A and B are shown apart, each in its own frame.
Chain A
């Protein structure tokens, strides 16, 4: 296996000489660093938004909506609600009542702090606050709303992001002033959600149906039994999904687009950085023509030189990858942004770092290919004769 020994020996010589070629080496490192940092940060947008959406979801939560409808268009009658409460597998509260909650959704107009920009966010009417506001969600200030009194509670994110959610503030919905009586936290999510009593909201809007029903199961495994019973019931035109499934389906398209943009930008930057790496490696090889010719004259094989140069290129890309991923983490991890109308934190995960490193290795390999061939093809006699 003299081939491998040769390659490794050559690689050592190459790397030991790197200090003398600092400019070229830095070009490769900086190019790869920037590419990986951008790619990882862009992907962290999608990961962060997704992590927030599924972060507070528990596996025993399921949602029941009209077949084929999104949350906002779905309609579930009171009779349906009564029927759903009797389905099997549902967890019970201490008083023996099933943990089933009807939800009414009304878009609600608000203005962003600072910019004054108008945004719509959900005003949710819940028929059972105990089910909606279960841990880790908890009240942080004020008190809970009282049914029938036009009172609302809002997440702390609302208070931070929008105007007019201080305790005691009045908000107008359908010509009636609603008082903010409490603030609560949902867990990880930065979403602004405003809660009130379902009946109060429904009577104001003249509605007689919920948008969806949220159900807590005894265990996640009870979903199958629940679903079978739901589908077997001829009068119920409803479908059940796990809460996770529901969120994932909403996210599919959004994440697809975001990932496309991330990889598009990442790919263009990678092409640029690879070109830079090729250039640098060419000059490294050129600077070592005599050295390479000498090695060939001493009996080192062309294959060994190719492999050694390729490995050198890949190893030079590696610090860039680590640096880029670290930079993305240091600069952006946990940063709250809202480029798409809702707030979330960027999430730089180990998985993203792996993707960045994989890209860097690919860039190192592709960038090293041509220079490696040139290194192997150095004509011994002319190179030795040259000054």
Chain B
């Protein structure tokens, strides 16, 4: 501790240089933080995917084989099923084809939200239940199209209504957020009753059923029981938990890891060179000063650690700064990329890397400073 002032004055001997190297390390660790946060964030989201929510869909191809609404009663009778809610999936667009919109008609019976990963305010929930043409939208929809509660929005779909029109109107009654991995930004939730009665074809079809189980530990058994119930019927099902599905729905982690490692590696390599050169230069310039330190009684080892400490303090402080900045960026970046997060482990790894960079880049100059012979060093002056 008593050497701290000495280290500090060494750092600020050339303020311009120190500030530049500080900024460079900061920038490098902003990138490290964002990339690493992306990776761990995705992993975290996968781990956090709910294992107690099951999706029951057609066995072969859940895009093309609709299930009849009539399966609902049988699913509900399977022991361990708490809530089962039919869900249809459709798509459309708002005004222009580029404005694609997922339409999710849900049979909103009492307690339906238990079977979903949605977060909906109670007043919106009540309005959704009481309004036939109600729609719940995401923040992304609201921002992109400037929709507000009370707006009536026309969506062009590929599903004709009984009157022949393919344009459906919905009344926005509120917003929702979705905590699932496979979250698509632009979608709206609507009432299945309105959708099913309005459409000209496919009446009574659903895409899948969302099921919540009473005991998470029994989720796999319940899923098997549901599939067994429909085995060898005309509508064989395949039931999976969100937890089991999550790993399939995030980018291929292997290749992503490789990419992130490669970029971080390149960043660190460049950084290492910069700090090493800086320390080398700094020690060379201060040869006489270091010699004076030795003259007044500082040992070789002390001088060695003084130089190391200088590099360490700058690098670790800058890395901390960079990681903090990366965390600040997350809420903004989270709008583009799902599941950013900075667990403590990432911070620890970052700081350790910073220390390693400091150590490696300062080792040679520090050794040089330690081996300095007073007489020759002073003679250079």
Enumerate chain A interface residues (CB-CB to B < 8 A).
23-24, 26-27, 30-31, 33-35, 37-38, 41-42, 66, 68-69, 72-73, 106-109, 115, 117-119, 172-175, 205, 257, 260, 265, 268-269, 271-273, 275-276, 278-280, 282-283, 337-341
The listed residue (B27, B156, B262, B273) touching A68 by CB distance below 8 A is B156
Judge whether B262 and A275 touch: CB under 8 Å. Answer: no
Is A339 touching B267 in the complex (CB atoms < 8 A)?
Answer: no
Contact A31 B259, CB 8 Å, known A118-B248, A265-B31, A341-B252: no
> Which of B158, B263, B274 contacts A31 (CB under 8 A)?
B274
A106 adjacent to B64 (CB under 8 Å): yes
Contacts A265-B35, A269-B263 supplied; 6 other A-B pairs, CB < 8 Å: A34-B270, A42-B263, A68-B158, A276-B270, A279-B274, A340-B252
- CB-contact partner of B270 in A30, A41, A175, A282, under 8 A: A30
Distance of B336 from chain A, by nearest CB (Å): 8
B217, CB-defined interface residue at 8 Å: no
Selecting from B13-21, B172-180, B366-374, the interface stretch reads B13-21
Q: In the complex, A31 Cα to B97 Cα: how many Å?
A: 44
Report chain A residues within 8 Å CB of B266: 34-35, 37-38, 269
A interface footprint on B227-256 (CB within 8 Å = 1, 0 otherwise)? 000000000100000000001100110111
- Is the CB–CB distance between A279 and B21 below 8 Å? yes
**Which residues on the B side are within 8 Å of A272 (C-beta)?**
24, 27-28, 31, 267, 270-271
CB of A276 to closest CB in B, whole Å: 4
Task: List CB contacts (< 8 Å) of B54-92 with chain A.
Answer: 60-61, 63-65, 91
Does B278 interact with chain A (Cβ within 8 Å)?
Answer: yes
**Would A339 and B274 be within 8 Å (CB), given that A265-B31, A282-B17 are in contact?**
no
Count A/B pairs, Cβ under 8 Å: 123
Cα–Cα, bound, A265→B30 (Å):
10
- A109 touching B60, Cβ below 8 Å: yes
The reply to whether A173 and B158 contact each other, CB–CB distance below 8 Å, is: no
> Nearest Cβ in chain A — how far from B305, in angstroms?
23
Q: How far is it, in angstroms, between the C-alpha of A268 and the C-alpha of B30 when the chains are bound?
A: 8
Q: Does more than half of chain B's interface fall in helix, strand or loop, or is it mixed?
A: helix
Residues from chain A with Cβ under 8 Å of B169 in the complex: none
Check: B277 CB closer than 8 A to any chain A CB: yes
| Residues from chain A with Cβ under 8 Å of B263 in the complex | 38, 42, 265, 269
**Pairwise interchain contact B236-A175, C-beta atoms closer than 8 A:** yes
Q: List 11 A-B contacts (CB under 8 A).
A: A23-B277, A23-B280, A34-B269, A118-B248, A175-B60, A257-B336, A265-B31, A276-B21, A276-B271, A276-B273, A283-B281
Q: Which residues of B contact A119 (CB under 8 A)?
A: 248
Contact call A107/B64, Cβ cutoff below 8 A: yes
How distant is B284 from chain A, measured CB to nearest CB, in Å? Answer: 9
Q: Could you mark each residue 153-195 of chain B with 1 if its beta carbon is under 8 Å from any beta carbon of chain A, else 0?
A: 0001010000000000000000000000000000000000000
- Pick from A31, A106, A260, A337: contact of B273, CB under 8 Å: A31
Nearest-CB distance from B32 to chain A (Å)?
10
Residues of B within 8 A of A66 (CB): 158
Note all chain B residues with C-beta closer than 8 A to A172.
60
> From residue B235, how far is it (CB to closest CB) to chain A in Å?
11
| Cross-chain contact A205 with B64 (CB below 8 angstroms) | yes
Please state if B27 and A268 are interface contacts (CB–CB under 8 Å).
Answer: yes
Nearest Cβ in chain B — how far from A384, in angstroms? 19
